[in-house]
Structure 1
């Protein structure tokens, strides 16, 4: 509750409307996530056991990413810590972040993660949401122009290589995209993986991701935005797809595509923030994440329109409403949301405004 009230005070002081994460908010998020990435339990493993020898605890299985309740949340918690340390190097939590990264990105810890990915029975582990976040984390480290950023990137690269190889092998076999509002969403994965491909200057991977995006979504029309949200969504299938295509298509191609895919959105039929009825429920609290990711997508979509395009206003007003509905609840005192929402908040707060 203290975390929530403190964040409300930040909002009241005018944090809303300023692009980027303030030092005060970065410190609050970092302090909380630092505890979570080292918290082994409670934990929800995605783990196939072939025999008694596979009955092992989270830290033994995943010495790099054992905290934050599950593997993918631990990975994107590390991304959030890397992002705020890179943008605010004098954070009070800086020493703690460096300590965690030195331990979790140590060669032995990374090797154990690579071995897990490559071991029999674990094919498809964290496909594709966890893959996407691992590549996003590595993109952050690869573009961090500092000795420690380069060192951590070099240490994590074997795992990024393993994940990228899995993604390259998988996408050509994925005939139909996953259009869900939760983890398997393909548009979300392609978007984060594109960030990695660009940071790593991996032209073949970037070409594959772009080709797959065009193949999956290039002919889409009349997206069913009115059907959203589902009861446990943290991703908007329609808005995430549109934000991805804004990355993939040149502006002259994106605008007519968007007019065909979400014509109502461009006529002012913008979504309203989702209502979160119970923040102690691990699935219902997903809707706080949905409000944050919708706000980000709406701003990214608006950024793909000309600066003087009158249609931008309704998108940005809706984005602001979603932000105001969710941001005060990022740290709500319940681990069901506290272990992951800060990541979505940081991405949202850094979106174009």
Structure 2
């Protein structure tokens, strides 16, 4: 059974299954499904083309191909997708070390996460005109990868983590330098979204014991968002969104506010959540922007689970939030392996991140 048919078989039961415990189990990441998710990443982490470079050229000699510019993260169409494809492989191996394709996943990580290749990534950032390269979405995914490796008790992971450390340190420092200058948050539904990047970077700050970065992220989140009221959720989604500006903001605030204060803040920001929230409709999965809406369904589901978890098991909103998350998850899970590279190079990462949040409920 191929990757496309195999993934569809794993998740179609989630789309049509009966309610109850069996249906909930369909949203757990099984070992066979982990292998099929890994297969999607393995199709692209070493695939150089097609590629969408974000590249400031300072001279003619800098007209180079993706692998020459980015020796570690050249695949998966663009730099940030390559980074989070590596994160997904690490996450899957941590959860299911004996999954199908495990040996191939380890070999890919071993080939790319070397001191020499990471040094090449750092050298790229050292050139003029690169200060805003992948700011802050790609930065945050790199820190998320670093956090995942730091929290994995595995000999290879420790080696990969050490190799990645210079780049993680560099981007953590760039967060520290940039965030105090960012007077206003970016509230878009695509890559520059500030809340999403802060949420990912917070994982690294906590995993690394970086109290200074953690404190800055908390301060920025409260400064940007603590006074927000009546978020315009009814205006969402935009036609190419893969993030919900309102839900990403709420998921971040769930991390930086105490439970009781967060519950009050949520009442003011998204009263009635999740009333009226329905999965986005994707009309063409070969279109690189329209397929973003599959990512939106997956990221909405993850954010709804995170909000529900932060509110706690006794909050009356919890059941409706989880049910809404499940509806969004099931709307797009069957379409991860669509046969179109426009979605296949990145959507599985959002699915794995979402399933991790689903698994964390009640733990």
Q: TM-score, normalised by structure 1?
A: 0.96
- Compute the displacement of 1:8 (Å): 3.0
Task: Give, in whole Å, the separation in 1 of the partners of 2:23 and 2:243.
Answer: 22
Q: Which moved more, 1:16-25 or 1:256-265?
A: 16-25
Alignment of 1:313 with 2:315, yes or no, is: no
Match of 1:350, SS state, is: helix
User: How far does residue 95 in structure 1 lie from its aligned partner after superposition?
Assistant: 1.5
2:150 alignment partner in structure 1 = 142
The match for 1:289 is: 295
CA offset at residue 148 of structure 1? 1.1
Match 1:109 to one of 106, 117, 121: 117
Conservation of the 8 A alpha-carbon contact between 1:3 and 1:333:
no
Over the residues paired in the alignment, what is the CA RMSD in angstroms? 1.4
- Cα pair 1:331 1:338 within 8 Å, conserved: yes
Q: Distance in 2 between matches of 1:135 and 1:166?
A: 11
Deviations 1:22-55 (A, max 9, x none): 1111100111211200000000000011221110
2:248 pairs with 240, 244, 248, which one? 240
The farther-off stretch of 19-28 and 242-251 is: 19-28
> Which of 284, 288, 304 pairs up with 2:310?
304
Kindly indicate whether residue 18 of structure 2 is the aligned counterpart of residue 17 of structure 1. no
- SS of corresponding position for 2:311: coil
Alignment pair present for 1:73 and 2:53: no
Q: Within 5 A, what are the aligned runs for 1:128-207?
A: 128-207=136-215
Structure 1 gap ranges (5+)? none
Shift of 1:3: 3.6
The 8 Å contact of residues 270 and 318 in structure 1, kept in 2 or not, is answered as no
Contact 1:270 1:315 in 2 (8 A): no
Aligned to 1:218: 226
CA distance in 2, matches of 1:100, 1:169: 33
* Residues 203-257 of structure 1, C-alpha deviations (whole Å, 9 max, x = no match): 1000000000000001110000000000000000000100110011010110000
Q: Distance between the aligned counterparts of 1:198 and 1:306, measured in 2?
A: 21
> Retained in 1: the 8 A contact 2:8–2:337?
no
Indicate the residue corresponding to 1:49 in structure 2: 57
Aligned to 1:256: 264
Alignment of 1:127 onto 2:135: yes
The alignment covers a number of residue pairs equal to 351
1:335 to 333, 341, 346: 341
CA contact (8 A) 2:189 2:238 kept: yes
SS at match of 1:17: helix
Where does structure 2 lack aligned partners over 5 or more consecutive residues? Answer: 15-21
Per the alignment, residue 272 of structure 1 pairs with 278
Give secondary structure in 1 for the equivalent of 2:44: helix
1:2 offset after TM fit, Å? Answer: 5.0
Tell me if the contact between 1:4 and 1:328 (Cα under 8 Å) persists in the aligned partners. Answer: no
Structure 1 pair 2/96, CA: closer, same or farther in 2 (3 Å)?
closer
So what's the TM-score if we normalise by structure 2? 0.94
C-alpha distance after superposition, 1:173-202 (max 9, x if no partner) = 000000000000000000000000000000
Asked if structure 1 preserves the Cα contact closer than 8 Å seen for 2:298 and 2:328, the reply is yes
CA distance in 1, matches of 2:335, 2:128: 41
Shift in alpha-carbon separation, 1:101–1:3, aligned structure 2, 3 A: closer
Alignment match of 2:37 (pick from 29, 38, 54): 29
CA contact (8 A) 1:181 1:236 kept: yes
Structure-2 separation of matches of 1:16 and 1:216: 38
